[in-house]
A = this chain, B = another copy of it.
Amino acid sequence: MAKINEDLNREREKCSFNVKELTILMDGGPEKTKERKERENFMISKRDTYAGIPEDYLSYKEQYEKAVKKSVIVFGLVRRLQEEGKTTIHNYRDVLGNLLRASDVSTGFPLALHYIMFMPAIINQGTDEQTARWLPRAWDCNIIGSYAQTELGHGTFIRGLETTATYDPITKEFVLNSPTLTSYKWWGGGLGQTANYSIVVAQLYTKGECLGVHSFIVQVRDEETHMPLPGIKIGDIGSKLALNGINNGFLGFNNYRVPRNQMLMKHAQVLEDGTYVKSRNPKLNYGAMVFVRVVIAFDMANYLSKAATISVRYSAVRRQCQSKAGEQESQVLDYLTQQHKLLPAVAACYALKITANKLWDTFNTVNEELLAGNLQRLPEIHALACCLKAISTYDTATFIETCRLACGGHGYMHSSNLPTTYSSAVAACTYEGDNTVLLLQTARFLAKTWQEIDNETGKLTPTVEYLKTTKSKGFSHKWLNTTDNIVYGFEVVSMRKIASCVQNMQKRVASGMTFEDAWNMSSIQLVAAAEAHCRVIILSTFNSEIKELTKTTSPELKRVLSQLVDLYSVYWALEKLSDLLQYTTINHEDVDGLRSWYEDLLTQLRPNAVGLVDAFDLKDEMLNSTLGSYDGRAYERLMEAALKSPLNSEPVNHTFHKYLKPFMRGKL
């Protein structure tokens, strides 16, 4: 093993807590840690079989081709685990998550949607018969599926989708059509060149009536030749900011026919004669959306942990400027401005992971209730998942970019892996529901809750119960600079923002505006209210869960985690200071105190910064970064990576003779 950078050695020596203890705590126990590491090591051990020139040097087409090559190896490993019974239809998402995180396929997998959307759609929306027919083939990857919902002209507004599926009772088939350019399906992962099947979401027409969007299993390419089938127009949508191995595709239909039994009919059905049978409860599909959005919050914690690890380690290695003449230059991690950029990001990794964990548990409880026919908590949990998705993706993207910029010029190099980490993570602000739209959905739930709050005699559902408490108690006590008080302050802020939105809406409606116009004119503040609610959820969950979790940890770990919670809460208190100034009793001196406390916390956490990111336990193969490796050989790796640039394979590029030299001699 190569020598470890002296500065990093020193950082690790002075770490006040046991890093392994923290890793195990966050994994959920030593067994979980062991399991995770086994899967990761399994994946990493196969790396050599699909290494090669880094994706950043390849053409778009080559990136796709490499992604296919890597995919069949990675998913081949998944299939091996399936065959060995180490992963089943019930736990494959977990296993897959560990494996994919341990692969270095930074451009994404054209086969990912097959597992993440195609199979779940069959499981959740297919009849027993349909599942029996399609799932085994999908599970064995005999067929590869995509998921085609979004169209060129419609994303957010699903009701506006234009693709039609018209039932023909004579042939007992659905006839699919793309009546306009904007009705072309757009974005389906793996849809371009990879998948031969896809779930297609289309407007169902039967007996001359439009019955809204439904899902269909549609074959798009020949299983033998992979040629697009007649009536299908399919292809690649082109180059994107990142994730260019995913092979997002477009798809159009010209009188393309699929048998009746390929509409997914668990909930609603079309009978042979074309009679439509409604779903018992159309809201049941919300469960799947909640699930996907919580998974995104976990993904975000993972992306951010990568960026935080890279930038904290590099900041321990990088030395710049003599703060005192004659002395060695300072580690950039010693600058308070650098700590201000990195340590809140580190805290956010823990906060997001812990909130997602908690929400995951809540979701599982609610899901069981759902399956038992109790839909009471669905609106609450849906609203929660919406805002958590929005805020976790936005915060993550912002923190990653801050981490990247904190690494100066080298953070702009692809070999640092920070650019790709940002470009990939920021996509989540848009997919699975645009953040603004999702926050407005949360706001709709909050406004409704608020309007009914006085009619509710009992408790509200747990995550909004604070609205009732704060409404009756308000914020009249003297401000205290403690995390518990900050959390309470945020609860009051959220309550007051919701109250104020509802009041403004009512005023506008009373003055003659339509509800829709009043909603639109209040929407900036509604978004802010939904954000405030989400801040309450994350802050209070992080605060209470860490208190709970550290009951049984070592006092050293308890101390650092409690500092981390404090840092996170003070950071957000200062970021959202105008809210606290407006809605609580915080005064000028308190604010000064808050700032000093923040500066002190940064100083206290500084010696544990490297330990806190080491605890994420991200192996070098997963970080894939010249700046962030465990050994801290940042400069050596930067140079090694540069020498791999294809431009360096020859001393003189041919364009010198062809273009440059004639130009320099005035001949061009």
Contact = CB atoms under 8 A, between A and B. Distances in A.
Interface of A: 54, 56-62, 64-65, 68-69, 71-73, 75-76, 79, 140-144, 150, 152-157, 159-160, 181-182, 184, 186-187, 192-194, 225-228, 235-241, 247, 250, 319-324, 329, 334-337, 340, 401, 405, 408-409, 411-415, 419, 423, 426-427, 429-431, 434-436, 440, 514, 516-517, 520-521, 523-525, 527, 577-578, 581-582, 588, 591, 595, 598-599, 603, 635-636, 638-639, 641-648, 651-666, 668
Contacts of A192: 647
Given A340-B524, A653-B64, A320 B144 contact: no
Given A237-B645, A238-B645, A636 B409 contact: no
Contact of A336 (B79, B435, B523): B523
A75 B409 CA distance: 27
A577 B576 CA distance: 10
Nearest to A330: B520
Copies in the complex: 2
Contacts of A665: 142
A72 B668 contact: yes
A591 B644 CA distance: 57
A7 to B, nearest CB: 13
Given A524-B340, A581-B582, A653-B65, A516 B324 contact: yes
Nearest to A413: B240
A642 B235 contact: yes
Nearest to A329: B160
Given A72-B660, A157-B322, A228-B651, 15 more contacts: A54-B239, A69-B655, A69-B658, A71-B659, A153-B319, A155-B320, A156-B320, A235-B647, A236-B647, A238-B645, A240-B414, A250-B642, A337-B436, A412-B427, A521-B603
7 contacts: A57-B59, A57-B61, A153-B319, A160-B322, A236-B648, A324-B514, A401-B426
Contacts of A68: 653, 655, 659-660
Contacts of A193: 647, 652-653, 655-656
Contacts of A645: 60, 235-239
Given A323-B516, A578-B581, A241 B527 contact: no
Given A160-B329, A182-B635, A520-B323, A414 B241 contact: yes
A226 B645 CA distance: 19
Contacts of A412: 240-241, 427, 430
